[in-house]
Homo-oligomer: A and B are copies of this chain.
């Protein structure tokens, strides 16, 4: 089987998004500062490696509905994601929602499929990926938590930025007993990066 990964940037106090997320401020108050480590031009040489990890070609993605967009409940408006006509995934993206929706085909190879069940979404993504492909659980936090709880992640990459947000969405919440194994690390003035191998069967 291929690899199933998640990659998240968090604040020093553990938040992957700030408080008060809105459609015009989808990362919440202060949340856009989380990603400065990969936005700088030129990017710091150490950070470059971790941005490259994030830019690995993906075979398929699993995405929570709140990450896909601000529409809640029934699909009462046209919404095609935050990323314009050509989203940066270039693969099938399985979006979790209890509200049925036809697939949305975008430019560049991205197609959003809407799936009712987390396990089904992961299985379909892993089938698409086959024995060599990379599946990313893109987020948000609750979807990454669901993946950790279900034991389907092989890898977790965490970039910690030296800011505090004081509230928002904790990447890891209510998940005791994980013992991921650090396999690679790096530092820049803008982030501390660790890649973990996630061992299954750790939760008590």
Contact = CB atoms under 8 A, between A and B. Distances in A.
Contact of A179 (B162, B167, B174, B177): B162
A13 B180 contact: no
Interface residues of A, number: 31
A107 to B, nearest CB: 37
Interface string A67-99: 000000000000000000000000000000000
B164 A175 contact: yes
The A interface, classified by DSSP as helix, strand, loop or mixed, is loop
A192 B194 contact: yes
Given A170-B13, A187-B194, A192-B192, A162 B181 contact: yes
Contacts of A22: none
